[in-house]
């Protein structure tokens, strides 16, 4: 239904069309249309200028890492990672772009360079900095890279060294990517199901302290991701030949996300503003994969079995990117059409998979990230 103001404008135009000569009326109408268009362009220009000033700071794991993990250790620096974008391995845990890249694109800025490239100088980091390291979590995990607390320490160090000023942070956004690495480490170190609830509470409590600290350092908006459906990752669905998601792992995810959403809501109440927002990665994954219950729907645009990864090791002991240490022979296989696979490897979405997730997130990002 049209607004009352719309009816008034229509009535006014009808009155003018009867009260004044037609040539003058048409000229007046054209002028009003030009003015309305100009106002729209001005609003768009102001928004673009505002976005051009945005600084994006990224914390988290391999879903957000764009090249921080050491080349000597991370599989993300091995072929065939990066074959779709940028065309060679560049430290992303995918064949192409990851979550960070798509959010930066939405904001209209280049993807912020990883912290490890800070030697290139301040000008190279005009749009922010990426502190995320693959394999890490809120706490220490099975890798030796910086956990989230240490990542925030690195960010604070940049502020203390005046790489970024308080004015820079006036239009800043932080994205905090929280995956399943904490839970993988918990189970790998003989964590019990009985202690899972308490462990989840500790993860969420530490995460709450982390996002409040980021905001306290001056970042205006802090967006934290829900956890992806762990039970739908190829590493888990392999037991069903990638036909179904695991209900057990997905229950773990749902419990984590429920606590996270409640905690972020409470943190906003405590702070008295809406500085903290949720990026619902869990829902976006399910939407992109057309998950119904624990099964993929027939309407998924990804070919064959959407839960099946594109790049796999030739045998169980190998993975995507593996090579024989003696001969240098490839010990992995890549599907013929990576663009039709949601998952790139056993854990990470492909370039097209991340694009599908971004497409599902995009409608909500405008009111979440743009202030």
Catalytic sites, residue numbers: 62, 345, 348
d(CA 304, CA 298): 10
For helices 99-107 and 351-369, the axis angle rounded to 10 degrees is: 40
Three-class DSSP category at 371: coil
- Cβ distance 63 to 98 under 8 Å? yes
How many angstroms separate the first and last alpha carbons of the chain? 28
Three-class SS of residue 319?
coil
Q: Which residues contact 257 (CB under 8 A, 6 or more apart)?
A: 226, 227, 282
Q: Please check whether residue 96 is in contact with residue 85, taking contact to mean a CB–CB distance below 8 angstroms.
A: yes
The H-or-E segment that residue 58 falls in is strand 55-59
Mind giving me the DSSP string for 170-198? GGEEEEE---SHHHHHHHHTT--STTHHH
**Distance between CA 241 and CA 258 in Å, rounded?**
29
């Amino acid at each position: 239904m049209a607004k009352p103001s719309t009816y008034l404008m229509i009535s006014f135009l009808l009155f003018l069309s009867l009260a004044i000569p037609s040539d003058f009326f048409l000229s007046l109408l054209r002028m009003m249309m030009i003015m309305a268009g100009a106002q729209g362009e001005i609003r768009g220009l102001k928004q673009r200028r505002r976005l051009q000033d945005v600084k994006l700071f990224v914390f988290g794991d391999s879903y957000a890492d764009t090249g921080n993990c050491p080349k000597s250790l991370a599989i993300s620096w091995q072929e065939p990672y990066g074959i779709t974008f940028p065309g060679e391995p560049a430290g992303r845990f995918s064949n192409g772009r990851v979550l960070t890249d798509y959010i930066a694109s939405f904001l209209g800025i280049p993807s912020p360079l990883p912290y490890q490239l800070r030697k290139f100088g301040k000008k190279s980091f005009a749009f922010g900095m990426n502190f995320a390291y693959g394999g890490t979590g809120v706490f220490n995990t099975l890798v030796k890279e910086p956990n989230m607390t240490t990542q925030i320490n690195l960010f604070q160090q940049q502020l203390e060294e005046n790489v970024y000023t308080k004015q820079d942070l006036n239009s800043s956004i932080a994205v905090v990517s929280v995956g399943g690495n904490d839970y993988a480490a918990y189970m790998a170190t003989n964590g019990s199901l009985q202690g899972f609830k308490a462990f989840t509470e500790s993860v969420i409590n530490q995460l709450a302290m982390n996002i409040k600290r980021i905001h306290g350092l001056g970042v205006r908006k802090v967006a934290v991701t829900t956890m992806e459906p762990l039970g739908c990752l190829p590493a888990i669905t392999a037991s069903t030949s990638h036909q179904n998601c695991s209900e057990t792992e997905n229950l773990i995810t749902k419990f984590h996300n429920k606590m996270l959403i409640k905690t972020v809501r409470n943190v906003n109440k405590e702070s008295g503003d809406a500085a903290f927002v949720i990026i619902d990665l869990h829902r976006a994954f399910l939407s992109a994969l057309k998950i119904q219950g624990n099964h993929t729907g027939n309407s998924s645009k990804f070919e064959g079995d959407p839960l099946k990864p594109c790049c796999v090791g030739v045998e169980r002991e190998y993975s995507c990117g593996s090579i024989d240490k003696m001969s240098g022979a490839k010990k992995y296989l890549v599907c013929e059409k990576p663009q039709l696979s949601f998952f790139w490897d056993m854990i990470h979405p492909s370039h097209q998979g991340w694009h599908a997730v971004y497409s599902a997130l995009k409608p909500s990002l405008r009111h979440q990230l743009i202030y």
